Amino acid sequence: MTDTKVPLISYLLGNFSRLAYFDNDTFLPKVINDINIPSFKTQLNAIKKVKLNDIFKENLTHRSEITNKINDINYSDNQPEFNHRQLENVQYVCISTSNYSSVYIVAIKDINAIFICCRGTYSPKSAVSWAKVRSSAPFETCDDQADGYMLGIFKIIAEIFYTILEAITFLSTQFLKSDDYKIFATGHSLGGAASFIFSFLFLKYKPTNKIGCVTFGAPRVLNGPSIEKLNEFIKEERLMFKRYVTNGDFLANLPPLYKHLPKSITYYHPDEYDATLNKSAVFCRYINKNTKKLKCNLRKTRKTRPNLKYHSNYIGISFKNASHGKTDFSKEIKRNEYYETICRIIVGGNNHDFSVSFFNLEDVKRRKQSVYDKIKTKFKKEFKIDYKHNDVFMNEHVFKNIINSGYTTDDPKELNPLHFDKLVKIKRGRPREELYCL
């Protein structure tokens, strides 16, 4: 039996989904070393040449050889040396908050593409974002629409949605210096769900947008009316989408699908709602440790007994212990004295020192709390679901001011701070459109 053909972009995004679990002191070296594996690097140029609508037609070759090297790099503390000039090919922005860490927005010149890489479940708190009771049923954010989301994941993406867009604009104009680039979103587990919701909002936000999205072991996060709209984006080829599931990964089947219930109150994957989109779902066998062979189909095959180990291997890339690293992932960015959400932005690569900045995320939301409200919130120690107030005051000027007002460092030990000494002051302009009724 020979290896199943894997689209080149799916494999690259699978690796980015794994790399998103690393923190800033190791993320960039691993990205550089992975994409510079000779047999991999020569193939990546095809992503630049092929049209986005045909992105899944380009298949990876030498998968086993590349996978062995990637897994060695990803699980080794001793990184292979790389020429510092290779940093000129990559620049990234990392966005982390008191609610979620992290989203890496990565630009690669050789490919002329930008990748939004969302971190998967990395702490008990992050797991609660989709396991909490309020996420057990879709939440309709707008009174005039039936669109429903898994509230916990909708919140963590919506509150930094425009910040991510500004990071994309920054990387495309200042680094790629191009307006003709491809954009992709990806993630594993929670990260896949987050990238899926981001892609949906991205396409709803602007009718001319196009994006590629590939998820790995992601749970269901949109209800019937939302999936129906998203499926239209797939059919219109505005969304180039695939979801990968390793047979036996029960987390990809959560929350349960209740077909007998009204479509507005149950979650779906795209292919479950519309059978004509069955090619968007790819089901793979667990990689055999001895043969290293990969077998995938565009449909479910024989049943595999559920086991958590199946969540840790996707198309050969190992996610084993992905959430365990040198950083204590159980701790997000510290809140301020009023228990408000703080956001950290790190910019790295492009042969420059890293810049690190902190700002109060509430300052770019429409809601402005009084001192009385802040003190009351502080003493109650309650976390309010502020889903209707995303970062509408984030714009190009604000974003550049934030990254230019932070401190610079080339010390890896300073690249994952959870505490802040000062916050960048935000000067508000005109607000952008709220996301909950897009």
Structure tokens at 369: 């709390």
pLDDT tens, 417-434? 999 999 999 999 999 998
Structure tokens at 364: 């770019």
State which CATH number among 3.40.190.10, 3.30.830.10, 3.30.420.40, 3.40.50.1820 fits the domain covering 8-318. Answer: 3.40.50.1820
Segment 279-308 mean pLDDT: 82
- In three-state secondary structure terms, 124 is helix
The pTM (predicted TM-score) of the whole model is 0.93
User: 22: closest CA among 426, 412, 419?
Assistant: 412
Place 122 in a pLDDT band, splitting at 50, 70 and 90: confident
Q: Which residues contact 113 (CB under 8 A, 6 or more apart)?
A: 47, 48, 107, 181, 182, 183, 184
Residue 377, burial from CB neighbour count under 10 angstroms (0-12, 13-18, 19+): middle
- Phi and psi at residue 433, in whole multiples of 5°? -75, 135
Place 12 in a pLDDT band, splitting at 50, 70 and 90: very high
Domain-wise residue ranges, the chain? 8-318
With b meaning 16 or more CB within 10 Å and e meaning fewer, what string describes 199-208? bbbbbbeeee
Place of tokens 């960048």: 424
Written as one string, the DSSP assignment of 400-427 is HHHHHSSEEE--GGGSS--S-S--PPP-
Q: Where are the alpha helices (DSSP H) in 2-160?
A: 8-19, 24-35, 38-49, 63-74, 124-131, 151-158
Structure tokens at 96: 């982390």
pLDDT at 326: 46
pLDDT tens, 184-215? 999 999 999 999 999 999 999 999 999 999 99
pLDDT tens, 384-417? 456 678 999 999 999 999 999 999 998 878 899 9
pLDDT above 80 (res 123): no
